[in-house]
Structures are given as C-alpha cells and as structure tokens.
Amino acid sequence: MYRKIIVAIALGRLDRGENILRKAASLLDAGGEIVALNVVEDVPTYVAIELPANMLEDAMKDGRDKLEALVAATGVTARIDIRNGPPAKAIIAAAESHRADLIILASHVPDFSNYFIGATADRVVRHAKCSVLVERQKI
C-alpha cells in the first residue's frame, strides 16, 4: 500500500507508539521503509538560560535510545529520526525530506480548543502533502 511511512511517536506514550508501529508494518509495501520519528520540542530562550547547555543533545539521545528499544521490542524494522522544533512542523518536514507517502500519528482525547483531533494531529492533517492516518485513543 505505502512505500515510505513516517511514524511519529511521543516518548510519553510509548505504548501507543508500539501500536502505530505495528499498524505501519501492516500497511507497508514489500521493500518499503518505516521511519520512527520523535520530535524534541524547543525550549523558550528565557527557560533555556537556566538549563544545562547540553540538555537538547541529551534529550535527543534519550529519544533515540527509547525509539531504538521500542523498535527492537516490536520486531518492526524502522529507521530512527530524531528532530527538534515545533512537533507539527518537524513531522511535516520529516515527511517531505523522506518523501513519505503516509504519516501515522496518535491523537489524544481533545478538549474544546481542538475538539475533533489533537492540536499537533490537526496541524499535520491540514498541512501535510501526503496521506495522514490518525490513530485515536480508545476511551
């Protein structure tokens, strides 16, 4: 079905990451590729001044380590990509740079400010140039 799939995984919800990695594997064409993506959000400058200088590098290394462990645990073959910045923009940029034809991401139960899907998922759906599959949380 799909040749290149970006699977955006939040480290705070690795259980959902496992589910969407397996879903990606079921949708992947023979010879296709899955890219497991984690985005480390930027810290505002006024906060970053008070934090250790290597915090971003440590967070990106931690993200890589956790995604590698998750990928190994699921048995799904995937390339790891760690980026930083606003999550929706980074997910869309990753999809474009990898020439993905599908993005899969999980969405939390929204509040009134983003009623239909989560804020990041909403932005990705609206601006991605490829198909987007949003895995909803079971209530």
d(CA 22, CA 87): 22
Q: How many domains does the chain contain in total?
A: 1
Read off the pTM.
0.87
Reading the chain (139 residues) residue by residue, the pLDDT tens digits are 899 999 999 998 888 899 999 999 999 999 999 999 999 987 777 776 777 778 888 999 999 999 999 999 999 999 999 999 999 999 999 999 999 999 999 886 555 444 555 688 889 999 999 999 999 876 5
Range of the domain at 46: 2-136
d(CA 28, CA 7): 12
Residue 38 burial (C-beta neighbours within 10 Å; 0-12, 13-18, 19+): buried
d(CA 72, CA 65): 11
Q: What is the pLDDT, as a whole number, of residue 136?
A: 82
Look up the CATH number of the domain holding residue 99: 3.40.50.620
